[in-house]
């Protein structure tokens, strides 16, 4: 098993080479990563989708649950709840919460660091 961190996605080609090496396939293969698929904002350009995603009544949600295939309904819910909407900004963990959580997760982070052989000391700062 090979573990990658979110930060690894910032520079995908080295990560892909490492995946290819791990899978013992040609690591010199250069995939075309210029096109971005499934971008969050793409579906929101359509006024009909905006209306459906922004609909609030529970009755609409229940009707959609039975009309849409499960994967599409889950996608709708994720958009409705704001997970992939362009107007939702990520927030930082409040410093006081971070201070409370750091000692709770410290041993887990150190163990994970050993397991994946990666420096995770930034997670403890």
19 and 54 co-located in one domain: no
The pTM of this model reads 0.48
Instruction: Tell me the C-alpha distance between 42 and 84, whole Å.
Output: 11
Instruction: Tell me the C-alpha distance between 2 and 89, whole Å.
Output: 30
- pLDDT for 91 equals 63
Q: What number of residues does the chain have?
A: 125
16 and 56 co-located in one domain: no
Count other C-beta atoms under 10 Å from residue 17's C-beta. 15
- pLDDT for 65 equals 74
- Contact call for residues 82 and 40 (beta carbons, < 8 A): no
54 and 23 co-located in one domain: no
Question: Would you give the distance in Å from CA 6 to the centre of its chain?
Answer: 8
Instruction: Provide the residue range defining the domain that includes 75.
Output: 40-88
Instruction: Tell me the C-alpha distance between 50 and 87, whole Å.
Output: 12
30 and 64 co-located in one domain: no
Instruction: Tell me the C-alpha distance between 5 and 117, whole Å.
Output: 12
pLDDT in tens, 1-59: 888 898 888 888 888 899 999 999 998 888 888 877 666 555 556 666 666 656 556 66
Instruction: Tell me the C-alpha distance between 84 and 106, whole Å.
Output: 30
What DSSP line would sit under 35-62, residue for residue? SPPS-HHHHHTSHHHHHHHH---HHHHH
pLDDT in tens, 44-91: 566 666 666 565 566 666 777 777 777 777 777 776 555 444 444 556
49 and 84 co-located in one domain: yes
Q: How many domains does the chain have?
A: 3
- pLDDT for 96 equals 87
pLDDT in tens, 101-115: 899 999 999 999 999
- pLDDT for 80 equals 59
- pLDDT for 83 equals 45
104 and 83 co-located in one domain: no
């Amino acid at each position: 098993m090979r573990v990658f961190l979110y930060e690894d996605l910032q520079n995908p080609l080295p990560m892909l080479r490492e995946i290819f090496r791990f899978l013992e396939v040609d690591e010199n293969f250069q995939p075309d990563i210029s096109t971005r698929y499934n971008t969050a904002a793409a579906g929101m350009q359509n006024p009909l989708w905006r209306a459906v995603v922004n609909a609030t009544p529970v009755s609409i949600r229940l009707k959609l649950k039975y009309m849409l295939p499960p994967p599409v309904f889950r996608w709708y819910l994720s958009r409705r709840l704001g997970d992939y909407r362009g107007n939702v900004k990520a927030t930082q963990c409040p410093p006081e919460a971070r201070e409370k959580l750091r000692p709770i997760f410290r041993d887990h982070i150190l163990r994970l660091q050993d397991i994946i052989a990666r420096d995770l000391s930034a997670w403890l700062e």
